[in-house]
Amino acid sequence: MERRSFLKQTAAGAAALVTASGAALAADEAAKAVTADLPTISWRLTSSFPKSLDTIFGASDVLAAALDKITGGKFTIKVFAAGEIVPGLQVLDAIQNGTVEAGHTASYYYFGKNPALAFDCAVPFGLTSRQQTAWMLHGNGMKLMRELFAEYNVVNFMGGNTGVQMGGWFNKEINTVKDLEGLKFRVGGFAGRVLSKLGVVPQQLPGGEIYPALEKGTIDAAEWVGPYDDEKLGFAKIVKNYYTPGWWEAGPQLSFYVNKEQWEKLPDAYKAAWEAACQLAHNDMQAKYDANNPQALANLLQGDVKLRQFSDEIMEACFKATLETYDEESKANPKFKKIYDDWKVFRNNQAQWFSVAEQSYAKFAFAKKL
């Protein structure tokens, strides 16, 4: 009986493998059949990130590969790193003007155009990665951001998330608010405006320019993402004080942009393929960072890097300055206020819920080792 059962299971397993292989082949053939009468389209996508940062830059490669497979090779994307077509901080302009069809970037880079754009990425003391995705997909986030991006001839899509970021690398200890005065700090988006209230001199630089700025002493401190990227960028060779948390980026979402006219020209099947590929890339980025950050942090701490936490004094001062900034911008900018009012309700509701289950679990369980 046992031999007969084993033979049956083996035969079933082999059949399953054949079926799976056949299903994959059938899926490829089906994709080609579905798109057979559709046009062949090739787009260029410009990224804000260097190729050396395989996770954040790599989201565009994930998108391109998925799109190629879904459409049977009929809709393809060629990805360009920051600087190959336009500088990393000019992606929005390139899409708006039709220089390229698509881009991958962080929307808070364009804070100077309208601070409200930062809600598409991250704002201080804001949403975590999961909460940001929830607001975009099941709150009013996507609707509100699409309305705003339409003014720039852009259709936006979720394009990844890093999770809560680190607070950055500093050439000295930062213990009090006074220690922030005059500090030249590479920090992007909304955070720079908040920190300027506390005496910080914010600098906005693309990822590839941070190391030389630290090395030359042009800046005193810098934040990027977290251990996995920070290790690759080599910050620990220059500065040793590594701070947490990055309160200005609790769940910074990256975004894919598409030129509005180009989007409207796409057949519906290609639009659906693009959206599916974006979602895959979005999910994949967060998973990669979560998988790679623990070992990268351990590597950094094996040297003489000191892991430090911002003091309560600094956190309270930053929170107070954040509320003041939100209030000032809401009074001056109706577009900001419209999004902020909706976002704030969603954020506070999420905070209440997460404090019930997530936070109480993490506080106990993550202090233990199995």
Integer Cα distance of 41 and 165 in angstroms: 37
Low-confidence ranges of the chain (pLDDT < 50): 1-21, 23-27
- Cβ atoms of 229 and 56 closer than 8 Å: yes
Q: How far is CA 334 from the centre of its chain?
A: 26
Task: State the greatest distance between any 2 C-alpha atoms of the chain, in Å, as a whole number.
Answer: 80
pLDDT value for 115: 97
Answer whether residue 324 is part of any domain: no
Q: Is 11 left (phi over 0), alpha (psi -120 to 50) or beta?
A: alpha
pLDDT value for 29: 62
Residue with tokens 């004080």: 241
Answer whether residue 87 is part of any domain: yes
Answer whether residue 257 is part of any domain: yes
Integer Cα distance of 195 and 314 in angstroms: 10
**221-259 pLDDT per residue, tens:** 999 999 999 999 999 999 999 999 999 999 999 999 999
Annotated binding residues, written as ranges, equal 165, 186, 223-224, 249
User: Which phi and psi angles does 253 have, rounded to 5°?
Assistant: -90, 130
Buried b (16+ CB within 10 A) or exposed e, 142-178: bebbeebbeebbbbbbbbbbbbbbbbbbbbeebeebe
End-to-end alpha-carbon separation of the chain, Å? 41
Answer whether residue 301 is part of any domain: no
pLDDT value for 158: 98
Answer whether residue 261 is part of any domain: yes
Answer whether residue 190 is part of any domain: no
Range of the domain at 286: 41-161+251-291
Annotated binding residues for substrate, written as ranges, equal 165, 186, 223, 249
Please report which helix (H) or strand (E) contains residue 336, including its range. helix 334-356
Annotated binding residues for Na(+), written as ranges, equal 224
Q: Which CATH number goes with the domain that contains 68? A: 3.40.190.170
Looking at the structure of the chain, the number of domains it has is: 1
**73-93 pLDDT per residue, tens:** 999 999 999 999 999 999 999
| Structure token pair of residue 186 | 């590479």
Order the strands of the 168-170 sheet from edge to edge.
201-203, 184-186, 221-222, 168-170, 241-244, 306-309
Answer whether residue 312 is part of any domain: no
pLDDT value for 204: 87
pLDDT value for 188: 75
Answer whether residue 176 is part of any domain: no
pLDDT value for 31: 55
